[in-house]
A and B are shown apart, each in its own frame.
Chain A
Amino acid sequence: MIARVALALALVAAPMSASAWCRTTTSRTRGGVANECSMAGVPLSWRSRCTGYSLFRTGLPASLAWSELVTVGQASAAAWASATCDENGRERQYFEVRELAPTLNPSGWSTTGANSNTILFRSRWGDDSLHREGVIAITIVSYDSFTGEIFDGDIELNTYNDRTNQLGFEFSTTRLPGSDSVDLQTIIVHEMGHFHGLAHSTNDRAIMWPEAGRGEARRDLTFDDAAGICAAYPPAAAPVGVRCNPVPYGGLATLPGGTIVDGTGCSAAPGARSTGLAAGIFFALALVVKNSRRSGRRSSPVRGVNRD
């Protein structure tokens, strides 16, 4: 027990600059050096034992099957969940990310409504301040600016479209993508690192190295990545007496505008992508349960005006 506590303290107390890994903090100040790891502010992390992510039901590239996306999402979450924190490989970091029901709720955070941690393909890029050129994907992390608790994380993939986004990227699920395509799992594992609260690493072999991707695959965590996640979620610091509740704050939104349809569901084929009767039933169901509170729904930690 003492050894576990000592390990946890050592991981937490280790100065961030001593390792290549880095954590995102509440401070946005940065010096004049690229990849500088901020020592100011509170490091961001989720404050429960788990959370969930939802795959966006529409917008998949034609080359990608829904089942492939499901597999990649699960594998990416598992990569982080299985990170071990001791030399024997027995102690795992305590935080888990589970797959929840698919969603039509887009990125962003609602302070009073339902939410989803959404993974989506975006075939428009460069059209607003959040989607500037020069990235294959982004993770938008919403957090408590005083405590550093992460409320929400959304991953958006800059997807090629011959009409709307010619500067976007083609995503591949093979381990050896062509030079003009990107390994989807490499990108999602990396973005899930940001989702957990990690920043970029200066270790050029790490998953969290900011430059890697086209024409190569790096899907497996390095020691540096594991050290980073173990510092954020050390085994000995797992919340005691707290059960895993992966539902986002405000309930899981599965329709646009934060409407709740299913509070806990697991992955299913995206039937709502179809139109006609099925979609009609889906939306009718949404209206019926829109205002109902389901068990497992969590209230928003922030009081304020609904921004939707």
Chain B
Amino acid sequence: MTALARRSFLAALVGLGALLRRRDAGATTIVPVTLEELTRRSELVVLGTVREVRSRWRGRFIVTDCDVSVDVSLQGALAAGERVGVRVAGGEVEGVGQVIPDAPMPQRGGSYVFFLQGAEEGMRLLAHMTAAVLPVTLGADGAMVVGTAPGLAGTTSGRLTDSPARSLPVGELARAVRAAGAR
């Protein structure tokens, strides 16, 4: 092999390496998490309805406490019908808003799947900054479907992010969560 050919070969290797490296790059400000990983790091996973939300100052920050009634418990020691308090970052108080971009803000009356880990002043905290609250809505056929959230990398089957609707029937998500929790 001539010197020129060797240099070309090395350059090609470096270029390929750089390409693979770029494609393999992990994360930026948001580190994606799979549904299985999110479930494993959660103490509680519940499908619930937000009955009340209340924002308040906590020092120099605004936090919002959500009163959630559990419709279905997917993981952990909560039963349907029980209440759980969930605290999220940000909110609005007396004309001042505070936001961490892409951090979830559940709405009163909305249904969500919450992935919860840890607590603060008796309120449960999210297991991931952006991916731990999945909205539950009615699909075109009237069945409940779970939407995705920023930073959620999908399920093992990839359906949550790969399907055109980017949503999953509630039953399918429940099975995936329970399977991940059992492992």
* Contact surface of A with B, Cβ cutoff 8 Å: 24, 26, 28-35, 44, 106-111, 126, 128-146, 151, 179, 186-187, 190-191, 194, 199-200, 209-216, 302, 304, 307-308
- Asked if B28 and A209 make an inter-chain contact with CB atoms under 8 angstroms apart, the answer reads yes
17 CB contacts below 8 A, A to B, read A28-B105, A32-B166, A109-B61, A133-B127, A134-B33, A135-B31, A138-B129, A139-B101, A142-B97, A143-B98, A199-B102, A212-B28, A214-B26, A215-B24, A216-B21, A216-B22, A308-B60
Question: Complex: how many Å from CA A238 to CA B156?
Answer: 49
Does the CB pair A132–B132 fall under 8 Å? Answer: yes
Distance, CA A160 to CA B166, complexed state (A)? 34
When distances are taken between beta carbons in the complex, the residues of chain B under 8 Å from A145 are 92, 95-97
> Given the complex, which residues of A lie within 8 Å of B31, measured CB to CB?
133-136
* B74 interfacial by beta-carbon distance below 8 Å: no
A299–chain B nearest beta-carbon distance, Å: 15
Further 14 A-B residue pairs, CB within 8 A, beyond A135-B30, A210-B102: A29-B105, A31-B147, A32-B135, A34-B161, A134-B130, A139-B101, A141-B98, A142-B98, A143-B99, A145-B95, A199-B102, A213-B29, A215-B26, A302-B95
- The verdict on A130 contacting B102 (CB below 8 Å), with A32-B148, A215-B21 known, is no
Complex-state Cα separation, A34 to B163, whole angstroms? 13
Do residues B59 and A134 form an inter-chain contact, with CB atoms below 8 A? no
In the assembled complex, the Cα of A107 lies from the Cα of B161 at a distance in Å of 34
Interface band, chain B = 35 or more
Beta-carbon contact of A32 and B147 below 8 Å: yes
Closest residue to A107 on the B side, CB-wise? B60
Instruction: Pick from A34, A44, A126, A209 the residue with the most CB of B within 10 Å.
Output: A34
A308 to B59, CA, bound (A): 6
The 3 nearest A-B residue pairs measured at CB = A108-B60, A32-B147, A213-B28
B contact set with A: CB distance below 8 Å: 21-22, 24-33, 41, 57, 59-61, 63, 87-92, 94-105, 107, 118, 120, 123, 125-132, 135, 137, 145-152, 161, 166-167
Q: Which residues of A contact B130 (CB under 8 A)?
A: 134-135
Which partner residue on chain A sits nearest B128 by CB separation?
A: A134
CB contact under 8 A between A129 and B125, given known A106-B60, A139-B101? yes
Residues of chain A with a CB closer than 8 A to B152's CB: 34
Most chain-A CB neighbours within 10 Å: which of B26, B161, B166?
Answer: B26
Contacts of A31 in B (CB 8 A): 135, 137, 147
What chain A residues lie within 8 Å of B132 (beta carbons)? 132
Contacts A108-B60, A145-B96 given; does A128 touch B120 at CB 8 Å: yes
Docked pose: A214 CA to B123 CA in angstroms: 33
**Residue of chain B at shortest CB distance from A142:** B98
A302: which B residues are within 8 A, CB to CB?
A: 94-96
Do B166 and A136 have beta carbons less than 8 Å apart? no
- Verify A33–B61 contact, CB threshold 8 A: no
B90 touches A28 (CB 8 A): yes
Give A130 to B60 CA distance when docked, in angstroms.
Answer: 12
Give the residues in chain A near B89, CB-CB below 8 Å. 129-130, 132, 140
Q: How far is the CB of B153 from chain A (nearest CB, A)?
A: 9
CB distance A190 to B129 under 8 Å?
no
Complexed CA–CA distance, A30 and B149 (Å)? 10
> A30, B104: Cβ atoms under 8 Å?
yes
Of all chain A residues, the one with the shortest Cβ separation from B23 is A216
- Find out whether the CB atom of B96 lies under 8 angstroms from the CB atom of A33: no
Known contacts A134-B131, A145-B95, A211-B27; is A140 also within 8 Å of B151 by CB? no
Checking A26, A35, A138 against B97 with a beta-carbon cut-off of 8 angstroms, the contacting residue is A26
Q: Chain A residues near B145 (CB, 8 Å)? A: 32
How near does chain A come to B137, taking the closest CB pair, in angstroms? 5
With A126-B118, A138-B100 already in contact, the answer to whether A210 and B29 are too (CB < 8 A) is: yes
